[in-house]
Amino acid sequence: MNGDSKPILVIGGGIAGMTAAVEIAEVGYNVILVEKEAYIGGRVLRMHRYFPKMCPPTCGFEINVKRIRRNPRITIHTLATVEKISGKAGAFRTTVRVRPRFVTGTQPIDEAVAEKMTSVRDNDFNYGMDKTKALYLPHDMAYPSVQVLDRECLSDADTQALSEVCASGAIDMEMSEKELEIDVGAIVVATGWQPYDATKLDTLGFGQYPNVITNVMMERLAANGGPTAGEILRPSDGNKPENVAFVQCAGSRDENHLPYCSAVCCMASLKHARYLREKNETSKATLFYIDIRTVGRLEKFYYDMLEDENVSYIKGKVAKINEVAESRNLILDVEDTLSGENLHEEFDMVVLATGMVPNTADVKIPFELNYDEYGFVDGATDVDGIYAVGCAKRPCDVTRATKDATAVALKAIQCLDGGE
Ligand SMILES: Cc1cc2nc3c(=O)[nH]c(=O)nc-3n(C[C@H](O)[C@H](O)[C@H](O)COP(=O)(O)OP(=O)(O)OC[C@H]3O[C@@H](n4cnc5c(N)ncnc54)[C@H](O)[C@@H]3O)c2cc1C
């Protein structure tokens, strides 16, 4: 048993996948963690702070990375996806595709060459709000701490310059895609979520008016490693917004978009109002909501925010956002359902609280699994030996995701021993 058993495959290296991996490995079983990005940590790492305690996510991340580093039972493949799965509980055969990083990580990169490079790419870590060089570290805390080369946006001059330094062994322009066949005993699906595409909300102006942003962008504006080094600034002119609207349920609980509630957006917007108020004490925040959903002990966070007189709450679903041409301010049309009044309120910036879409809505796990109508892996009908956790299963916060991961670690281990 234990070290001699087949490993457990974890698909997705966000907080749920990392937690499952360390829990499994720390009781003596081998784990293969497959992450499609060049780094592990998932969406939580892109938050400025996380509720309820408002700690920087890097704290929890560092602890998990320490646990991973000291545990030889965990093997991580980044830039990797699972292409095929066959077999059954206790005996799955999987094919993992690993894309090339072009940086070996075994030798230091000549800084002078990296410095001179001019090719740039959209910084997806910051939701496209700034650029990185084509040779980049995804973020300051990236694990593995190895740069990535985006060859697709490399100019001819940069390709030439990098080819000349390949001999040092730091860069390998010939690195190619690999396919690995891996036998595993159980599989944990921790593929998480992506933000709902706000450009589909055609009355709310995202993509049309620069000062309409989304909740995930707000996280990056507030973060020190973000595009504005932690200052919350209006995209149109770089000024500090004084009066910000938060539009709840932007597309959520709406039959035309996401019919379900994403469970965390109310807390996320309250947290964003707090970021704003902490960074600019004269600022004002207004939340437009259908109802505020802060369950259990999270309610205290809401009650604390109610004490701040610069934060107001209007019960009503925002129908339309228009831009004021000169100032690039935004006018929100909304019916205040408590007073019955039709409001046309002006703000400097608007944050849309968009919901969470499962990554499995687009890319399915290559095995016959059950999904609900929105693409979440249906936890109630788990296939033997394959278990979903965190936001792969339903929208949830970090506490729920890690509890799930710990519970599923046990299920996966039990299935391993049963399969032997
Ligand atoms: C605006 C906003 C703010 C939030 N703030 C908080 C907060 O303050 N506190 C809190 O508790 N929660 C917060 N949440 C919720 C939190 O983000 C989730 O609970 C958390 O991300 C769930 O983790 P996860 O591991 O399930 O998913 P993810 O974080 O999405 O991680 C999934 C991982 O799987 C990888 N992956 C996806 N598909 C594949 C594939 N096919 N193959 C390999 N890898 C794959 C992804 O790249 C990613 O690394 C917030 C959510 C939003 C929308």
Nearest CA to ligand 1 atom 27: 192
Give me ligand 1 centre to Cα 193, in Å: 6
Q: What is the model's pLDDT at position 180?
A: 98
Q: What is the model's pLDDT at position 318?
A: 97
Nearest CA to ligand 1 atom 39: 191
pLDDT tens string 90-130: 999 999 999 999 999 999 888 888 889 999 999 999 999 99
Q: Is the pLDDT of residue 419 over 60?
A: no
Mean pLDDT to the nearest integer, 14-26: 98
Q: What is the model's pLDDT at position 165?
A: 82
Q: What is the model's pLDDT at position 167?
A: 81
Asked if residue 265 lies in contact with residue 215, where contact means CB atoms within 8 angstroms, the answer is yes
Nearest CA to ligand 1 atom 17: 44
Q: Which of 123-127, 294-298, 306-310, 414-418 has the lowest mean pLDDT?
A: 414-418
pLDDT tens string 357-366: 999 999 999 9
Nearest atom of ligand 1 to the alpha carbon of 11: 43
Q: Is the pLDDT of residue 418 over 60?
A: no
* pLDDT band, very low/low/confident/very high, at 420 (cuts 50, 70, 90): very low
Mean pLDDT to the nearest integer, 260-267: 96
Q: What is the model's pLDDT at position 182?
A: 98
Residue 80, CB-side half-sphere exposure with 13 Å CA sphere: 27
| End-to-end CA separation in angstroms for the chain | 9
Nearest atom of ligand 1 to the alpha carbon of 391: 26
Name the more confident of 243 and 53: 243
pLDDT tens string 164-220: 888 889 999 999 999 999 999 999 999 999 999 999 999 999 999 999 999 999 999
Q: What is the model's pLDDT at position 399?
A: 95
Arithmetic mean of pLDDT over the chain? 95
pLDDT tens string 213-241: 999 999 999 999 999 999 999 999 999 99
Mean pLDDT to the nearest integer, 305-319: 97
The domains located in the chain, with CATH, are: 2-99+177-194+357-419 (3.50.50.60), 111-168 (no CATH), 197-354 (3.50.50.60)
Nearest atom of ligand 1 to the alpha carbon of 215: 1
Give me ligand 1 centre to Cα 145, in Å: 20
Give me ligand 1 centre to Cα 310, in Å: 31
Q: Is the pLDDT of residue 154 over 80?
A: yes
Cβ 357 under 6 angstroms from ligand 1: no
**Best residue for ligand 1 mutational test, from 34, 36, 44 (most atoms within 8 Å of Cβ):** 44
Cβ 36 under 6 angstroms from ligand 1: yes
